[in-house]
């Protein structure tokens, strides 16, 4: 069934679920149930979309039946579909974690609707083919994430949300200015249409400014150094089920944006943009690695490490060769899975501590009673560090290989040197929690959050490492579709 309606399902189903959740606001059990059911349903829809798109090419849904570029088009090309599936898989595990965790905030009637709104908005921003519609979705995402974080049990949640929200509002102001500049230059908002016209005539005076503004917007969304400041505070303070999503899939909006900008929207300026991305990526790789090594809190460490991982991905996008792009895609998927898993484990360990906090000082020796999360965390750490046979290795392999083929030796050397940092901070965290003896007065709570969700994710990582071929094939297909923008444009505008 290769029908355009597939494209809107992954957005619509969570919205419906959220609405039901609101109507059921007094019945928490029902709320949780319907939310899980709807999310699962939309995940199935997303997978269906991916398969169908992979087999038969891009799908476009013209909302309201208005022809592009006059209406709003939702574009399900391979890239978008891949990101959607990735996001919804992780979000599904996040919901599973939420169902099994002891946070008080998941009992609030707003939690599950907000979580579904987060899902819908993230999905929408991947699928939309209209720059203003992207803004609207991004806003929805920001508000959902902000409220979810502000409600965290951690008393600093509001502070984190406040910082994030201000910075995000700044980002949206930049985006609006970019939208204005582009409309003033080309008189259209449809990405495909813009791409076509911009490629035909990149001269209008407002275009460079728009390019910078969009870049910065996506850098803020993707927590790219030096636009990352919201991220460590935010991800460390959010409820575990949420922070796992934020640090893994939500930041991927930035990555998605850069993929689109370099291959679709700004083709004439792509080479320039790629150079920036490599530069920013390298900065991020070192900064993220160092800060992750230097910080005092497990969740913050993982948040900082996201900066570094995003850096690796940016370098891949910046190299821009087919192989490098598929490396970036593989790294993106791996990071989404593993970072979610690790943050869940961090939260689970914190939930075992007497005081619920992920500060290392608070977690020392907690692992003694918990070997299973220890094994998971060790495997996860190895994934992050790209140690075979975990799937992180596949990404590292691809990145190095593409770097060699692209003859980008200095950047490659930098990436290699920074790579060791990952191993260091992961190992240090593992030793602190599972090897160091606990201080005498420390006492642990019996049973913490459930470990099903992280276990699933780690298992997936192991599977994708041992049996990497499907992932690689998908990544290759994605990078091929990215490098063939005319197909996208044709699918949206026809003729």
Partner 1 sequence: MPDALLWLPLGLSLIAAGLAALWGLPTVNRRLTNTRAAWLLALMPLAAFLFLLFRLPPVLAGSGLIWRQAWMPSLDITATLYLDGLSMLFALLVSGIGTLVVIYSGYYFRGDAGAWRFLCYLLLFMTTMLGLVLAGDVITLFVFWEGTSVTSFLLIGYKTKDEEARRGAFKALFITGGGGIALLAGLLFMAVLAGGTDYATLLHRRDVLISTPLYPVVLGLIAFCAFTKSAQTPAHIWLPAAMVAPTPASAYLHSATMVKAGVYLLARLYPALGGTELWFAVLTVFGLLTMLTGAYLGLKQNDLKALLAYSTVSQLGAMVMLVGAETAVAFKAVIVGILAHALYKGALFLLVGIVDHETGTRDLRRLGGLRGTMPRTAIVTIPAALSMAGLPPLFGFLAKETLLASVTHPQLPPLIGTLLTAAAVMAGALLLAQAGLLLSDVFFGRPRDPHIHGHEPPRGMLVAPAILTALSLILGLLPEPIPLATLIAVAAKAAYGATVKVSLAIWAGITVPFVLSIVAVSLGGLIWGFRHPLRRRQEALWPWLRLDAVYEGVWQGLMGVARLSTRSQAGQLRRYLILMLLALTTMMLLWGDLPRPTTLGSEPLDDLTLLRVFTLVLATGAAALSIFLVRDFFAILALSVSGLGVAVIMALEPAPDVALVQIVVDLLSVVLLTLALAIIPREQRRRAWEFTFRQTRWGLVRDGLIAGAGGVAIAILTLAALIARPRTSIVTPYYEANAKSLAGASDIVGAIIVDFRGFDTLIEILVFSLGGLGVFALLRYATRRERRQAEMLLASSAGENPSLAPGTSELHDKLVMGIGGIRPSPFIRMLAQVLLPLMMVVAIVQMMYGHEQAGDGFTAGVIISLIIAFWYVAFGYEETRRQLPWLQPFPLVGMALTLALGNGLVAAMLSGSFFGRVDYGQWLGLGLPRGFSFSSSFVFELAICLTVLGGVALMLAALGHPQDKR
Partner 2 sequence: MLDLLKALTIGAMFGIGLFQLLRRNVIRSAIGLMVLTNAVNLFLLMTGAYRGRVAAYVTLSGERSDALPQALVLTAIVIGMAGFVLVLAMLYVLALRYRTADADDIDELKH
Q: Which residue's CB is nearer to partner 1, number 81 or number 493? A: 493
| x/- letters, 141..180, toward partner 2 (CB under 8 A) | -xx--xx--x----xx-xxxxxx-xx--xx-xx--xx-xx
Q: Which residue's CB is nearer to partner 1, number 100 or number 180? A: 180
Strand partners, 145: none
Q: Which residue's CB is nearer to partner 1, number 308 or number 460? A: 308
Distance of CA 261 to the CA centre of its chain: 17
Helix ranges (H only) for 101-156 are 111-127, 131-150
54 binds, among partner 1, partner 2, none (CB under 5 to 8 A by kind): none
Give least dist CB 198 to partner 2, A: 16
Give least dist CB 269 to partner 2, A: 20
Q: Which residue's CB is nearer to partner 1, number 308 or number 453? A: 308
Q: Which residue's CB is nearer to partner 2, number 127 or number 210? A: 210
Residue with tokens 């910065």: 216
| Eight-state DSSP code of residue 462 | H
Give least dist CB 402 to partner 2, A: 35
160 binds, among partner 2, partner 1, none (CB under 5 to 8 A by kind): partner 2
Q: Which residue's CB is nearer to partner 2, number 29 or number 155? A: 155
Q: Which residue's CB is nearer to partner 1, number 48 or number 290? A: 290
Give least dist CB 227 to partner 1, A: 6
Q: How many residues bind partner 2 (CB under 8 A)?
A: 39
Element (H, E) at 316: helix 298-319
Question: CA 375, CA 370: separation in Å to the nearest integer?
Answer: 9
179 binds, among partner 1, partner 2, none (CB under 5 to 8 A by kind): partner 2
And the tokens for 97? Answer: 């974690």
DSSP notation for 358-398: -BHHHHTTGGGG-HHHHHHHHHHHHHHTT-TTSHHHHHHHH
Q: Of the candidates 3, 37, 201, 272, which one interacts with partner 1 according to CB under 8 A?
A: 272
And the tokens for 218? Answer: 């996506």
Burial of 152 (0-12, 13-18, 19+ CB in 10 A): buried
Question: CA 341, CA 460: separation in Å to the nearest integer?
Answer: 10
156 binds, among partner 2, partner 1, none (CB under 5 to 8 A by kind): partner 2
And the tokens for 306? Answer: 């996201």
| Eight-state DSSP code of residue 158 | H
Question: CA 195, CA 199: separation in Å to the nearest integer?
Answer: 6
Q: How many residues bind partner 1 (CB under 8 A)?
A: 118
388 binds, among partner 1, partner 2, none (CB under 5 to 8 A by kind): partner 1
Alpha-carbon dihedral 316, 377, 240, 34, rounded to 10 degrees: 90
169 binds, among partner 2, partner 1, none (CB under 5 to 8 A by kind): partner 2
Question: CA 369, CA 419: separation in Å to the nearest integer?
Answer: 31
Contact residues for partner 2, defined by CB under 8 A: 132, 136, 139, 142-143, 146-147, 150, 155-156, 158-163, 165-166, 169-170, 172-173, 176-177, 179-181, 183-184, 187, 189, 232-233, 236-237, 294-296, 300
């Amino acid at each position: 069934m290769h029908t355009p309606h597939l494209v809107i399902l992954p957005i619509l189903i969570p919205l419906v679920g959220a609405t039901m959740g609101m109507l059921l606001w007094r019945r928490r059990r029902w709320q949780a149930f319907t939310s899980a059911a709807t999310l699962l349903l939309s995940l199935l829809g997303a997978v269906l979309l991916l398969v169908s798109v992979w087999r038969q090419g891009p799908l476009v849904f013209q909302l309201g039946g208005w022809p592009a570029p006059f209406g709003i088009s939702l574009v399900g090309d391979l890239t978008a579909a891949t990101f959607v599936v990735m996001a919804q898989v992780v979000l599904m595990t996040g919901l599973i974690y939420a169902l099994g965790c002891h946070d008080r905030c998941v009992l609030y009637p707003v939690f599950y609707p907000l979580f579904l709104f987060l899902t819908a908005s993230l999905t929408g921003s991947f699928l939309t083919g209209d720059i203003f519609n992207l803004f609207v979705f991004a806003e929805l995402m920001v508000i959902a994430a902000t409220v979810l974080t502000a409600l965290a049990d951690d008393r600093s949640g509001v502070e984190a949300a406040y910082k994030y929200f201000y910075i995000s509002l700044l980002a949206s102001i930049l985006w609006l200015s970019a939208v204005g500049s582009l409309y003033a230059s080309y008189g259209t908002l449809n990405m495909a249409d813009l791409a076509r016209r911009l490629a035909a005539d990149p001269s209008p005076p407002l275009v460079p400014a728009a390019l910078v503004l969009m870049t910065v917007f996506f850098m803020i969304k993707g927590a790219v150094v030096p636009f990352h400041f919201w991220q460590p505070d935010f991800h460390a303070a959010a409820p575990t089920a949420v922070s796992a999503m934020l640090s893994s899939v939500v930041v991927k909006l930035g990555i998605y944006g850069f993929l689109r900008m370099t291959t679709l929207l700004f083709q004439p300026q792509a080479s320039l943009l790629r150079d920036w991305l490599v530069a920013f990526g390298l900065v991020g790789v070192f900064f993220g690695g160092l800060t992750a090594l230097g910080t005092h809190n497990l969740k913050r460490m993982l948040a900082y490490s996201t900066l570094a991982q995003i850096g690796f991905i940016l370098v891949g996008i910046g190299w821009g060769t087919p192989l490098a792009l598929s490396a970036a895609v593989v790294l993106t998927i791996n990071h989404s899975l593993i970072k979610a898993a690790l943050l869940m484990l961090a939260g689970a360990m914190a939930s075992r501590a007497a005081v619920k906090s992920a500060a290392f000082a608070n977690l020392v020796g907690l692992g003694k009673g918990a070997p299973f999360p220890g094994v998971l965390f060790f495997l996860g750490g190895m994934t992050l560090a790209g140690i075979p046979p975990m799937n992180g290795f596949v990404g590292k392999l691809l990145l190095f290989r593409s770097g060699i083929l692209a003859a980008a030796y200095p950047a490659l050397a930098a990436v290699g040197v920074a790579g060791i940092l990952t191993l260091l901070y992961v190992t240090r965290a593992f030793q602190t929690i599972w090897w160091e003896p606990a201080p005498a007065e420390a006492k642990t709570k019996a049973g913490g959050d459930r470990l099903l969700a992280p276990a699933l994710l780690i298992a997936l990582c192991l599977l994708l490492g041992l049996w990497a071929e499907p992932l690689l094939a998908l990544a290759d297909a994605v990078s091929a579709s990215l490098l063939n923008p005319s197909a996208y444009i044709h699918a949206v505008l026809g003729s």
